[in-house]
């Protein structure tokens, strides 16, 4: 494995600082938590960069520290990788494992966890938004599991899959050389990382690929849904198309997709809208227009459901796609270096977005 000094070389935020200063920055930019430490030595260091929707941080507290998160991470998954030293991961009294150099773990948004750092622990953390995970789920299997994708607890060795570790190196390399925090290459590489995570780590999606019969069945269903973008589509229509009873249709969806035909149609249409809004081609003039095109008539409900699935309002997606990427020196590209005794400055931007939303016609 490449030496830790070669990963995320830029984005220095804190150097030889108090662990409490690192903790304050981490709470604002990476995830909420509390810390306990034996002594307050000024040996903590933190690098932080943002590439697309992915957050990257490399940190060391320089002391024996316990980081606790009793309420989970809300809208983010954390891929935590130990580059030097060790870190004990505790989910409960009976579920404890130790990450040593070259090992990693995936922490789900809903997982309360305590992390015990050795004083020489250096860790690389990749923060992945729920929206990106959901997007990859829909791309791969057509739906998001009830309650979201959940990875099993446990450690894995980073070099067991060479391609996965190369993706992490590439992600860090792009973050080091890119001047634009919102460059689309970051999200593209991030999607590859998520896809690889879904391949190498156990989770709650079905482990086996569906039969060729399922592929033909859902290929027919998908083509029909896509061709009837704004029309009312009911379960009885899909059953008639597939030449099965409505009860058999529901059974096939439950077994293969884990959701109802109603939810599947809605998710597939939302995903197509997601792609339309993120394509910087200028083909979408307004959120209202594309929502109505796909059968969403109640715009308020549409915005709410879109945000629940993708973590952003549709108006935000369209706004970003229609504007050229701009560099920001306070989004992780060139964050000011804070020496010991300084306090990280947290900038917040208040956005007032009009409710846009939707009722899916006929579903």
Query: What confidence score (pLDDT) does residue 361 get?
Result: 36
Query: What confidence score (pLDDT) does residue 239 get?
Result: 93
The values of phi and psi at residue 126, to 5°, are: -110, 115
Query: What confidence score (pLDDT) does residue 317 get?
Result: 83
Is residue 65 predicted with pLDDT exceeding 90? Answer: yes
Q: Enter the CATH code of domain 8-206.
A: 2.60.120.280
The pLDDT tens digits of the residues spanning 235-248 come to 999 999 999 999 99
Query: What confidence score (pLDDT) does residue 3 get?
Result: 55
The pLDDT tens digits of the residues spanning 32-53 come to 888 898 777 778 999 999 887 8
Q: How far is it, in rounded angstroms, from Cα 194 to Cα 186?
A: 12
If we measure between CA atoms, which residue out of 261, 269, 267 comes closest to residue 295? 269
Q: Which residues are CB-contacts of 204 (< 8 A; sequence separation ≥ 6)?
A: 145, 149, 150
Q: Which residues are CB-contacts of 304 (< 8 A; sequence separation ≥ 6)?
A: 357
Is residue 57 predicted with pLDDT exceeding 90? Answer: yes
Mean pLDDT, range 236-265, rounded to an integer: 89
The topology under which CATH files domain 212-322 is Arc Repressor Mutant, subunit A (1.10.10)
Task: For the chain, give every residue range classified as CATH 2.60.120.280.
Answer: 8-206
Task: For the chain, give every residue range classified as CATH 1.10.10.60.
Answer: 212-322
Distances in whole angstroms, Cα of residue 131 to Cα of each of 126, 285, 332, 356? 15, 23, 20, 18
If we measure between CA atoms, which residue out of 294, 1, 304 comes closest to residue 124? 1
Helices 261-278 and 314-322, axial angle in degrees (round to 10): 30
Residue in this structure with the two tokens 């060139």, named with its chain if needed: 334
């Amino acid at each position: 494995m490449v030496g830790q000094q070669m990963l995320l070389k830029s984005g220095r935020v804190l150097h030889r600082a108090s662990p409490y200063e690192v903790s304050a920055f981490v709470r604002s930019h990476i995830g909420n938590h509390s810390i306990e430490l034996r002594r307050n030595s000024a040996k903590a260091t933190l690098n932080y960069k943002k590439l697309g929707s992915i957050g990257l941080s490399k940190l060391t507290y320089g002391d024996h520290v316990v980081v606790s998160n009793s309420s989970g991470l809300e809208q983010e998954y954390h891929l935590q990788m130990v580059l030097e030293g060790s870190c004990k991961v505790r989910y409960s009294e009976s579920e404890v494992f130790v990450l040593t150099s070259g090992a990693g773990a995936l922490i789900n948004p809903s997982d309360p966890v305590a992390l015990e750092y050795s004083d020489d622990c250096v860790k690389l953390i990749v923060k992945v938004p729920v929206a990106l995970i959901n997007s990859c789920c829909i791309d791969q299997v057509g739906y998001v599991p009830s309650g979201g994708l959940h990875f099993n607890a446990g450690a894995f060795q980073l070099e067991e899959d060479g391609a996965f570790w190369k993706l992490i190196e590439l992600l860090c390399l792009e973050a080091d050389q890119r001047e634009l925090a919102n460059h689309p290459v970051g999200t593209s590489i991030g999607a590859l990382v998520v896809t690889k995570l879904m391949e190498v780590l156990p989770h709650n999606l079905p482990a086996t690929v569906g039969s060729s019969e399922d592929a033909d069945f859902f290929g027919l269903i998908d083509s029909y849904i896509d061709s009837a973008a704004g029309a009312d589509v009911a379960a009885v229509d899909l059953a008639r198309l597939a030449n099965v009873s409505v009860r058999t249709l529901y059974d096939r969806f439950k077994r293969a997709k884990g959701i109802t035909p109603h939810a599947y149609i809605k998710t597939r249409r939302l995903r197509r809208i997601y792609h339309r809004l993120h394509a910087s081609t200028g083909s979408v003039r307004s959120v209202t227009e594309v929502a109505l095109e796909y059968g969403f008539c109640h715009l308020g409900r549409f915005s709410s459901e879109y945000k629940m699935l993708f973590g952003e309002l549709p108006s935000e997606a369209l706004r970003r796609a229609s504007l050229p990427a701009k560099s920001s020196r306070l989004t992780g590209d060139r964050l000011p270096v804070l020496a010991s005794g300084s306090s990280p400055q947290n900038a917040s931007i208040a956005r007032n977005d009009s409710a846009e939303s939707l009722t899916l016609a006929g579903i």
